[in-house]
Amino acid sequence: MADLETYRNKRDFSRSPEPRGRRRRQRAGSAEYVIHKHDASRLHYDLRLEDEGVFRSWALPKGPSLEPGEKHLAVEVEDHPLDYGKFEGVIPEGYGAGTVMVWDRGEWRVTGKHDDGQIDLELEGEKLKGAWTLKRMRGRGGGKEDGKQWLMIKRHDEKGARVPGSLDDLSVDSERSMARIAEEEGGSESADRDSSSKSSSRSSSSQSPANESKASSQRASDKRKATAATENKLPDVSQMEGACKTKLPKEPAAQLATLVDEAPTGDNWFHEIKFDGYRILTRLEKGRAQLITRNGHDWSERFPEITQAMNELSLQSALLDGEVVALRRDGISDFRSLQRSLSEEKTGKLVYQIFDLLYLDGVDLRDTPLHERKRLLATLFEALNLPKRTPLRYTDHVEGQGREFFEEASRKGLEGVVSKRADAPYRGRRNRDWVKTKTERQAEFVVGGYTDPQGSRAGFGSLLIGAYDNGKLRYCGRVGAGFSNAQLREWERTLSRSRRKTSPFVERDIPDAKVTHWVTPKRVIDVNFSEWTHDGRLRHPRFRGIREDRDPKDIELEQQRGPSPSGETSMADAQHPGRPGGGAKAEANGKHSGSGQEAGGKRKHESGKVAGVKLTHPDRVLFKEGEITKQDLAEFYAAQADWLLPGLIERPLTLLRCPGGIDADCFVQKHPSDTTPDNLPSVRIKEKSGSHDYLYVRHIGDVIALAQLGSIELHVWNSRIDDLERPDQLVFDLDPAPDSDWQDVIDVAHALREALAELELTAFLRTTGGKGLHLVVPLKPLADWDTAKAFAEAVCQRCADKQPDKLTLNMSKQARRGKVFLDYLRNGRGATAVASYSVRAKPVAPVATPVRWGDLGSSLRPDGYTIDNLPRRLASLKRDPWDGFEDARQALTKKRCRDAGMEV
């Protein structure tokens, strides 16, 4: 049990600058680690791992082990408060006297055992990266001796074992050496201290106004010297091609990229990663920075850390172009994280990716060719000698190889590629000198109205969105998915303040006009979607975030539609031949839509790549019956992406992997392993055994990456990663005994549906691809896991009491004979159920398939839909079998729980 009493009893906080600290609640997400270098009676290092709200700590007399197989002694010491992770200074005479440096910091995760005698872990820090094991040493008799002696063992991995370069002796926080820390902090012992407000980088004593003024003058002098030194390292920019001496532009405009089908080929193109963030032009005048959005707003105060970093540059005047992003652990930008950072005003970890230099010290470079500007920008970054923890980053590029670069971006799950003509000047408008190629369908739209919520959904039902076409707002569809409950309420309050009487859209015929509220079109949102329909509507749109940096009038329909990605039209047609504009050609050719089969049944493999993901051994047979290969599985998931993804994305996963096929060894996987691609996203979840990472998916490329690993079955939590502790659906599993009758399963399903309807809950039906059925109930994510599980049990018990001859809640084989087992346990925290449209690891590759209640009869079989015949069924549907799922969400209120028979 985490305890700070020992830590506090050993210290005199009236003399020591160490933080008193307190135990905190365990944080969700990643756990922190810190390594201190400590020059006490003996020089050593201290490893600290965040666990249960404190730092569990070990002293490393010889430092961390670095070579694979190397073992270093680790002596467990008292727990330290998490505040200690920021401490750097000099401890006075007494316990632990000496200089302390923050030598390394980062994140850690459990990769295997985490118990009283062993911790398998991975570090991802500034200096250390890789896998280690902490193992408790035992005495000869098998005892633990004093229990404090451990070994830190470096394990073999692909990341290598040591820090970049060598064991450098600089702090990762302050970039100070041990000697400098001792010099600057050593005089602090006699100063008055407030232990509750100590900072890891405070000065030895408070400064008087005169001293502060003197220090300010010294900083200004230092900056002037640094500026001169930087200028001496740069070429004479006034002599560059196209350069012009002039004043710094007051209202610079950003150059914009045109959406195209494929990344251009040829050596005269530079290709950069397309970031998923906010485009920012930075204007430096007299050493002071102004951060400007592409629609001219000053956001300097919204990104204070970046603004401060720009102010500290040894530059007097400059104009730079880049994008502010939030980076995940794998280095990929994440727009949702960026929006969360802004809303919570926690912007310290944001990064400014700078990709162009337009003006420098009195010289306008916008007419200078891009290749010269990029060369100068790289030289400038080198001359500035930025600190290691700066939020400012140079954005590199690849010359030529556009197609290959785009394929690599797709494989890594990036948003796309921006390609720029190397010989082109910078123009503050959209043209084809800059083009962008996206790896998935995403665009921006203007909000013109909203519908009333259905059922007990809060806020609004969906937003009506459009884009401008020759100055007129064209209707593009509705989006209701992707909003949290808080966003639903916030948006409804915001939109209600800008309501108007008439529609802003040019079309007269707008769906659901009778329940629509029109608003002034002044808000822009970012949306993911599967495709455009033939009549100009979005299919399966999902809200990603609001774009405060966009002017609604700039959202042009032509740019949002763009060209269809190569092959997408044909895939959409093949997938939906029964829908408007779809599939007549595919059906005429006698092909199974999306199955990869020709009319005669022979599968044709054009290549080993699906959705930009390269498959190894694509022809490996995973299902002997039907000779279904890895590529068949991947192509099925890719072709049915818009059916599969809505119930799958951003939910923690449990996988059933069968790399050698279903007749070979299969195994369950919850956490990332050494074979898991680094670009697959994961979320850290606290459990009884410690914190563990769980995989999830964001788009079809992630699903195909899992298929490449031999993942056949996809099982999901009943909650999403952004609200893990509150389930948004219930799953009731009807599992018949081998000797039970299928009609009994049908009868139980109808009875359970009626019981839920009496509680004003709507149940949706799914075949499992196995022996039984699932009833899935959409919820508003308000109740916790214990409430959801208890509610599900109460409903099942009521049904069992009414039909004891047909169903049971007892999972023993003896009690289940001739009955249907009603499993409510899939509603507990960490429990999973197979995802809709997931293939099952059974002969002929059956698929868990949502169906209509009207389909439930003697001819419906729980494993009747397969990887081969399901695409044809989906192509024939005019409506989603689960149409209305989102609108049917209800809350597990106290009244509803009491009515179910729960004790509330």
Catalytic machinery residues: 274
Mark residue 690 as left, alpha or beta (left: phi above 0; alpha: psi -120 to 50; beta: remaining).
left
Whether 454 contacts 461, CB under 8 Å = yes
Q: Can you tell me the distance from the alpha carbon of 179 to that of 19, in angstroms, rounded to the nearest whole number?
A: 22
Q: Where are the beta strands (DSSP E) in 811-884?
A: 820-823, 833-834, 849-851
Whether 620 contacts 630, CB under 8 Å = yes
Using DSSP's 3-state secondary structure scheme, residue 81 falls into coil
Q: Can you tell me the distance from the alpha carbon of 327 to that of 111, in angstroms, rounded to the nearest whole number?
A: 22
Residue type (1 letter), 258: T
Half-sphere exposure of 567 (CA within 13 A, CB side): 9
For 133, 227, 260, 423, 424, the CA distances from 370, given in Å and listed in that order, are 49, 25, 20, 6, 6
For 252, 358, 361, 374, 425, the CA distances from 237, given in Å and listed in that order, are 20, 11, 9, 13, 15
Whether 425 contacts 434, CB under 8 Å = no
**Secondary structure of 774-817 as H, E, C letters:** EEEEEECCCCCHHHHHHHHHHHHHHHHHHCCCCEECCCCHHHHC
DSSP 607-625: -SEETTEEPSSTT-EEETT
Instruction: Say which residue the tokens 């050993």 belong to.
Output: 10
Instruction: Say which residue the tokens 């059933």 belong to.
Output: 656
Q: Are strands 430-438 and 256-259 parallel, antiparallel or unpaired?
A: parallel
Locate 236 and state its tokens: 């004479």
Residue 291 has phi, psi (to 5 degrees) of -95, 120
Locate 239 and state its tokens: 């002599």
Q: Can you tell me the distance from the alpha carbon of 634 to that of 845, in angstroms, rounded to the nearest whole number?
A: 13
Locate 218 and state its tokens: 């010294």
Quick one: which of 716, 730, 725 has its CA closest to 888? 730
Quick one: which of 532, 321, 570, 535 has its CA closest to 445? 532
> Cβ neighbours of residue 163 under 8 Å, at least 6 residues apart?
66, 104, 127, 128
Counting every residue written for the chain, the total comes to 904
DSSP type of residue 888: G
CA–CA–CA angle 732, 734, 736 (5° rounding): 165
Q: Where are the beta strands (DSSP E) in 651-802?
A: 653-657, 667-669, 682-687, 690-695, 711-716, 729-736, 764-767, 773-778
Using DSSP's 3-state secondary structure scheme, residue 876 falls into helix
